[in-house]
Amino acid sequence: MAAQPRPDQVRVVVGDVHAAHRGLELLLREVGAIDAWGNRTPSHFVAQLGDLLHLGHGTAEADRATLAAGTRWIDLQVLGNHEGFHVFSLDSCWWTGMATPDQVHPEVRDTLGRQAREGRWNIAAALDGWVLTHAGVHPAYQAQLGDGSQAAANAIGAMFAERLSNGHRVPVIDCSGPVRGYDPDPGGVLWCDMTEMEAVVADTTLRQIVGHTPQAAPRLVGGRVWAVDTGGGRSGVLSAIIKEPGDDRWTPVSVAVPDPQVH
């Protein structure tokens, strides 16, 4: 089961970082999750929605620094499509422009392999009645996942474990979706585009927090789905949503990323 916050901790859910380690530091300092010296504060619980790394050409050092920072500062790590190939050898996560294994920093390769074995990278998680995935659970897949956020996260986790064991493609995980032109079926939790979700958001049975599809600013779609990705190292803006203990209202926070590493 994914890490969970204490009742008294402030919840922080960070969108896609894309190797913007300086932006991650600024954001976590802004919300109070780390102090001026970069030490984690026990008052906060930090989750991150995947694409922490970029793993493209020319981002090896930025990926190394970001993975080290994320390992130090992030309590609950969700898997993104940018990490899927290099963490779990998912062919469905290969994308044009991705770094080949020999182009990835050796420290990153070693750390990702160890973290995969340790169970750090979660395909889905539940947090205070919300389901966290990288790209979202499309309503077309929700009937097979049971009732409620924890049941859905558990079901997706079980499917993912089986998929890693037998290598058989699972639509709710592997589908790229019609927006990218690869699959007629809706995108899975690593690839669903927000335009797919937004068109049928009234049909979702789950409250969700997702990244993957860049937005101008974090926004609540249809009262049910928080879209938190603002691009990170790709756009120069990194965002999160935060929630006080005992409250159910999320507040967006964004910072400018100094010296974005992704071009």
Q: Which two tokens stand for residue 44?
A: 């906060």
Domain of 182 in residue numbering reads as 10-256
Q: Is residue 263 part of a domain?
A: no
Amino acid at 256: A
| pLDDT tens readout for residues 155-173 | 999 999 999 999 999 999 9
CATH number, domain with residue 245: 3.60.21.10
Query: In the chain, what is the greatest distance between 2 CA atoms, to the nearest angstrom?
Result: 49
Residue 218 burial (CB count, 10 A): 22
Q: How much of the chain, in percent, has pLDDT values that exceed 70?
A: 98
Q: Is residue 230 part of a domain?
A: yes
**Average per-residue pLDDT for the chain:** 95
Confidence of residue 234 (pLDDT cuts 50, 70, 90): very high
Assessment of whether the complete model's pTM goes beyond 0.95:
yes
pLDDT at 123: 98
What is the Cα–Cα distance from 59 to 259, expressed in whole angstroms?
13
Q: What is the average pLDDT across 150-158? A: 97
CA-closest candidate to residue 209, choices 191, 189, 227: 227
Q: Is residue 85 part of a domain?
A: yes
Q: Is residue 59 part of a domain?
A: yes
Q: What is the average pLDDT across 182-209? A: 94
What is the Cα–Cα distance from 235 to 214, expressed in whole angstroms?
9
Q: Is residue 122 part of a domain?
A: yes
For the chain, what is the total number of helices (H) and then of strands (E)?
8, 11
Dihedral angle sign, alpha carbons of residues 239, 244, 246, 247: negative
Cβ atoms 47, 11 nearer than 8 A? yes
Confidence of residue 261 (pLDDT cuts 50, 70, 90): low
- 204: burial class by Cβ within 10 Å (0-12, 13-18, 19+)? buried
Q: What is the average pLDDT across 111-138? A: 97
Q: Is residue 94 part of a domain?
A: yes
- H or E element at residue 238: strand 237-243
Confidence of residue 263 (pLDDT cuts 50, 70, 90): low
Q: Is residue 262 part of a domain?
A: no
Q: What is the average pLDDT across 101-105? A: 94
Q: Is residue 175 part of a domain?
A: yes
pLDDT at 180: 75
pLDDT at 174: 95
pLDDT at 181: 67
Q: Could you give the number of structural domains in the chain?
A: 1
| pLDDT tens readout for residues 50-94 | 999 999 988 999 999 999 999 999 999 999 999 999 999 999 999
